[in-house]
Structure 1
Amino acid sequence: MPRILVITDHGDVHVPPVAEHLAAGMELTTIDTARVMLGEDLSFVQTKSGPRVFYRGEHLDDVVSVWYRKPSPLPETSIPVAAEYQTYAWSSLDQHGKSLNVQFRDATWVSDYYSLCRAKPKAGQLATAQELGFAVPETVMTSSENLARKFVRDHGTCIAKPLAVRFPHGKAMYATLVTTEDDLDYAGIAVDPQILQTYIEPATELRVTVVGGEVFAAEVHGGEPQRGAGGLRVRDWRAGADTFWAAPARVSADLEDKCRQYLAVYGLRFGAFDFVVDRAGVPWFLECNGNGQWLFIEDATGQPISQAMARLLTGGARAAPFARGRPAPRTERG
């Protein structure tokens, strides 16, 4: 029986809506590599006929596609070994789990793990976007107190974003507006490098989700900037849990083509793009997440993203009919 393998947290809410749209006879298996230490054994065997993978004692055969979503991060301090072996055990489990990312070479990966790694650094994203003709805000990524001060002083109003992808427990870090009048502790940038960008006054903001060659554009809004920690103004629609809304949007064929070209540069089959559209109607590229969240967009707009993902995983390519009607958002954004 053809099998689709999903590498993600077992509680990933993106999986069931896609599973609903898989053709009869397709088997779906979810692996969370962080759960190996809990007894969900994972083995790689090299035989005369080639590599074989076993999960919980079952041979994973006939894998036609692999969906690399969001596996749980390995805990760094709670592995059930003595304290002096924590780092050793973490390294062993990490390397073992990553062996999964080089299996199933004949399968369709959405997307290839190492392509995702190459596409992740923000500096590379901005350079690639600019090369493809996207408008890109003037940006500095720095750990230099002096350069950060100068950038804000030269531009007056800027957006500051963390480079970190893992945050303190129970906290979220959002993009914030900063000006020369804000009392900022630039000295802390040495241990918390930041992205600083010129502020683009938004007429609207877009989330453009690309699944294979299918493009789903949505206008997103999270309310007006709110005061956050230290009195700074949060300027990030992800922070507007109570005021967030999204609606289907029309974008130019040129923008759609550039998004597809961007994914092709990195060898990705999926991407969640964020744009801010200025008062003149110019869309400015902010970032692309190669395995970003999209179910909250489907929930809010009715766009059939889960159906498109099912088609991609099973090799289908026909155009998707527009479907409305999922209830309120049920997943995180990012």
Structure 2
Amino acid sequence: MTVLVLTCEADVTADMVVAELHEQGVPLVRFDPGDLPGGGSLSVEYVRGEFRGYLSSGGRVASMQGLRSVWIRRPSTPAAHAPEPSDWLSVESAHALYGMLDCTGARWMNHPSAAAKARRKPWQLRIAYLSGFPVPATLLTTHPTMARQFAEQYRHVVVKSVSGKSPGDPPMALPTTLVPPDADFSGVAAAPTMLQRYIAKRADIRLTSVGDRHFAARKATEPGQVDGRYGDTGHEWQAVEVPTPIARAVETYKKHAELAYGAFDFAEDSTGTWWFLECNQGGQFGFVELETGLPIARTVASWLGAELS
């Protein structure tokens, strides 16, 4: 039985898991959807109710009948590397590839439909609250008046991206930024804007959940630091225990979201409370493993390589 790894050509996190799969003796095919058609190829046949499909890349072939699991790890857009790329060709290739994979009995980490829903922050916040996480008060609006009232109520608020990095080549980073209560909120009318009560944190927490195992790492922050992704605090990530209530909330969240994998970000305040910020269904973990030694790549590989029940 084969593991299919859908990823781009250069991804260190994928490399770590591929190395672990090789170490565990699990057959695998690494495939970049951007190479379809061209560097990668597929063939699928439906005859009298019978389904047969094959996917090949770099001289390796994966039979859909022998597919154990599929790991989606930052794959390129289908047909992105085609000699004559187009939006139409990308849509056609995506329907062919993922439609074929949906016909298999393979396990997914994570299924594209679940992943697409899980990326939406407004939905994340609702599910996080229902799962039992502490969630900062949040407003998503295009009404300047409502934005102003929210800022006046909570005094210290941050503005953050709803969808993540903006499109472009290269994409522009949009850091979470502290906004004063007397700011001019007229620009809110131009696009949906997310405001959130600022959590004065003493540490950032990254919790990586793989199947039923959870790995947490903590990185102390400097006073007043808003976005832990930017700026060097001089501190390193350190492995920490996962509080039982957080573990239960993670498991509930993943069940709601139908996720096998999730990278959860929290802000730890002065009382030790872990405030939910977001869950990245495809978040990288290489930097955490390299600094803490947590066996995340090995755990991902073991989940992917496990026998189907």
Q: Which range, TM-score by smaller chain? A: 0.7 to 0.9
Counterpart amino acid of residue 164 in structure 1: S
Name the structure 1 match of 2:109: 110
Scaled by the length of structure 2, the TM-score of the pair is: 0.86
Name the structure 2 match of 1:288: 279
C-alpha contact (below 8 Å) 2:55/2:62 kept by paired residues: yes
The separation in 2 between residues aligned to 1:144 and 1:74, in whole angstroms, is: 37
Name the structure 2 match of 1:29: 29
**CA 1:60 to 1:118, structure 2 compared with 1: closer, same or farther past 3 Å?**
same
Match among 270, 280, 303 for residue 312 of structure 1: 303
SS in 2 for 1:46: strand
Counterpart amino acid of residue 303 in structure 1: L
**CA 1:205 to 1:33, structure 2 compared with 1: closer, same or farther past 3 Å?**
same
Name the structure 1 match of 2:219: 220
SS in 1 for 2:271: coil
* 1:260-271 alignment runs, 5 A limit: 260-271=251-262
Structure 1: where are the runs of 5+ without partners?
227-234, 317-334
Q: What's the % identity of the aligned pairs?
A: 29
Higher RCO (CA-CA < 8 Å; seq separation 6+): 2
* 1:136-285 alignment runs, 5 A limit: 136-167=135-166, 168-170=168-170, 171-182=172-183, 184=184, 186-221=185-220, 235-240=226-231, 243=234, 245-285=236-276
Task: Tell me the C-alpha RMSD between the 2 structures.
Answer: 2.6
65-74 or 39-48, which deviates more: 39-48
Counting matched residue pairs gives 300
**CA 1:169 to 1:150, structure 2 compared with 1: closer, same or farther past 3 Å?**
farther
Scaled by the length of structure 1, the TM-score of the pair is: 0.80
Report how far residue 216 of structure 1 moved. 0.6
C-alpha contact (below 8 Å) 1:206/1:218 kept by paired residues: yes
1:96 aligns with 2:118: no
> Stretches of 4+ moved more than 4 A in 1?
56-59, 78-81, 221-226, 241-244
The separation in 1 between residues aligned to 2:202 and 2:241, in whole angstroms, is: 15
* 1:62-77 alignment runs, 5 A limit: 62-73=66-77
Query: Any idea what the Cα deviations from partners look like across 1:241-300, whole Å, max 9, x if unmatched?
Result: 574621111231121121112111122111111111221222111111111111110011
The separation in 2 between residues aligned to 1:315 and 1:72, in whole angstroms, is: 26
Structure 2: where are the runs of 5+ without partners?
none
8-17 or 87-96, which deviates more: 87-96
The separation in 1 between residues aligned to 2:4 and 2:140, in whole angstroms, is: 36
C-alpha contact (below 8 Å) 1:44/1:53 kept by paired residues: yes
SS in 1 for 2:40: coil
